[in-house]
Amino acid sequence: MKVRRDDWGIPHLWADDADQLAFLQGRVTATDRAWQIEVERLRSEGRLAAVLGPAELPWDRFARRVRLDDTARRCFARLAPATRRWVAAYVDGVNAALRSVDAPEFAATGHRPDRWRPWTPLGVFLVQHALFGTFPHKLWRADLAAALGDTELFATAGSGSNAWAVAGPPAVLAGDPHRLLELPGVYQQVGLACPEFDVIGLAFPGVPGVPHFGHAGGVAWGITNAMADYQDLYREDLRRDGGTVSARGPAGWEPVAVHVEHIAVRDGATEPVEVVETARGPVVDVDRRTGEALSLRTPSRVEAALGFDALLPLLRARSTGDVVDALRCWVEPVNSVLVADTTGDVCELVAGLVPVRDERCRREPVPAWESRYAWQGYARMPSEPVAGVAVHANDRRPAVAPLGVDFAPPHRARRIRELVSTGTPAGSIHTDTQVPVSRDLLAAAEVTGPAADLRDRLLSWDGRMAASSVAAGSYARWRSALVRRLHDHPALAALRGPSAYDELFAPWTDPLGRIGIALESVVAGLGPAVCGPLAAAALEDTAAEPARAWGATHVLAPIQAVPDGAPTVGLDGDTDCVLATSSVPGVSDACWRGPVARWVWDLGDRSASRWIVPFGASGRPGDPHYADQLPLWAAGELVPVAG
């Protein structure tokens, strides 16, 4: 077994077979990212509060209730024998390194890493995606319906991932997944080679292989969130009789599995958590308005599968058809996939399981006792050849529209197509900062004096959200002022009551944040009679403040389990740009969600492929490769794959 590190500290691994390579990948991952993967393991088991204290209780309660660790164990047990052996080899490598690794966070917390169990990688993968789907949006819509009734005011969802394919020849794939900007980063650049295959790609620390983004020489692939709706919430009527619990189902009262777990809390009392699972799924919350329990039904729990049996075939793929075949067993999350090979075969597909059921299930929690809300199998996933250009940007494309409800606005997809059509290089597409400006609303604002001057400057501005741009900073402040005034307006006053759901879901149920994310939709729904005066008042608010460049407040704000002087920098881009360095208008200009990697896969010459991550290959503060890619990432540059 051999490890070669390039100039950026990125590991390129060689072993004599796939299982030895998995062991080596696990060992190197634990060496480079020991604290990070220990945190993810603790999250998967709902035990992080024991190390970091009461602030982690909301997550730990959720992890126990939703049965993350048990789902991982069940999914591992159902893997094909070869996959199970391969995953276990990765775990053996992790455990071999954990015996001697060190990191300053271990000293700071007084914690030492525990041994991984064979199914821990599946639990780590579940941690990354448990809240990645649609069910938190259904909690928001339930709050919204309780406050405003049936409304389409909030018709768009926020997301920012991009991927595109140009058929060539030779074909080029490129993209930039957007997630929470965590430090260390959520993706790990790696090269994996053995006599069977030679792949470069982006791995999840703690998970073997390269599930989402890879280049195997003859074929390459990349994904975005398909925005499909594959998680359902059911309102459960529970009946307690002594020590037994029953739930009202379509055929009457049904037995319910119940037990109590205890969460240890650093510097706090142990907290008991009742874990309840009905025939629909685990109970994850209670509606404080109705008293009903809410159970969560997901394909991974129902089928005891995540799709890990696809991971080895992906590494062994030689053609577009091989990748398509490998992903037939993918379960969740549901992804839009672009694939291309060196023969010129380019394909776009959707991978995963989306249940067929009543349309109401897509929008809100539904009564568990009504049979019409039961699942009726799974939808057929589309797969089509690409002759020219394909663009995926979390938008409502014909292929995915029947599969979901909450999609991103079409701006990014349109802009990428425009840039591709003009021959713009992939790296420049990644960093495009053009934002759709609310010119009609600005132009109609009846203001005088400094506010009128500001309006005129914004109307003549080029719409580029550059960190150095004072106009971009003024536009962002006007937009935030408008969001806050909308939040305070009587038309939306009913939203300001408390949410009926757990604090863990506040990022989805906070009305101020939701107005900021769906501002375009809210303005269109309320109309000019309401929004015109508010836009004018927001101009007055903004004109009264000192002008500042966008980068003065739009700064990188990565998430750390143990905050430790994270590097920061003013950023180009904005939520609706292709360079979707997201913030939440009205809440904060800080960027905590954005491109967690950028990649360009060249099918004519793999060595010409390029990539970048926000920080670096190492997860250890003080290491030369802890954040050495940050200046290039912030500047929109890429580095060679050196594979």
Report the relative pairing of strands 11-14 and 188-194 from DSSP bridges. parallel
Strands 293-297 and 197-203: unpaired
Amino acid at 213: F
CA–CA gap between residue 12 and residue 412 (Å, rounded): 34
| Cα–Cα distance measured from residue 361 to residue 326, given in angstroms and rounded to the nearest whole number | 30
480 is catalytic: no
CA–CA separation, 172 and 202 (whole Å): 17
**According to DSSP H, which parts of 431-505 are helical?**
439-443, 449-460, 470-488
Which residues 6+ apart lie within 8 Å of 594 measured at CB? 160, 178, 181, 556, 571, 573, 580, 581, 582, 614
- Report yes or no: 39 and 48 within 8 Å, Cβ to Cβ: yes
* Beta-strand relationship, 588-595 and 582-584: antiparallel
| Nearest of 311, 266, 284 to residue 90 by alpha carbon | 311
176 has binding-site annotation: no
Helix (H) or strand (E) holding 326: helix 320-326
Cα–Cα distance for residue pair 89/91, rounded to 1 Å:
5
Among 44, 100, 159, 161, which one carries the catalytic annotation? 161
Tokens of 108: 């700071």
CA dist., res. 438 & res. 457, Å (int): 13
Contacts for 291 with CB less than 8 Å, ≥ 6 apart: none
DSSP assignment letter at 596? S
* Torsion from C-alpha of 389, 395, 401, 406, nearest 10 degrees: 170
Residue 192 phi, psi dihedral angles, 5° rounding: -125, 115
> Any binding-site annotation on 564?
no
Q: What is the per-residue DSSP string for 163-202? A: EEEE--SSPEEEEE-EEE-BSS-S-EEEEEEETTEEEEEE
Concatenating the DSSP letter of every residue in 215-257 gives E-SSEEEEEEE------EEEEE-EEEETTEEEEEETTEEEE-E
Residues ≥6 apart with Cβ < 8 Å to 529: none
The tokens describing 151, both together, are 């409304």
* Nearest residue to 635 via CA among 578, 559, 565, 569: 569
Alpha helices in 348-408 (DSSP H): none
Rounded (10°) CA dihedral 604, 606, 610, 616:
170
Phi then psi dihedrals of residue 88, to 5 deg = -65, -35
Cα separation, 311 vs 305, whole angstroms: 13
Quickly tell me which residue has 């969740």 as its tokens.
332
How many residues are recorded in the chain? 643
Three-class DSSP category at 602:
strand
Which helix or strand (DSSP H or E) is residue 90 part of? helix 81-98
Whether 239 and 245 have beta carbons less than 8 Å apart is answered as yes
Residue 256 to residues 250, 280, 366, 419, Cα–Cα distance (Å): 14, 10, 18, 55
Annotated catalytic sites, by residue?
161
Enumerate the known binding-site residues for Ca(2+): 229, 232
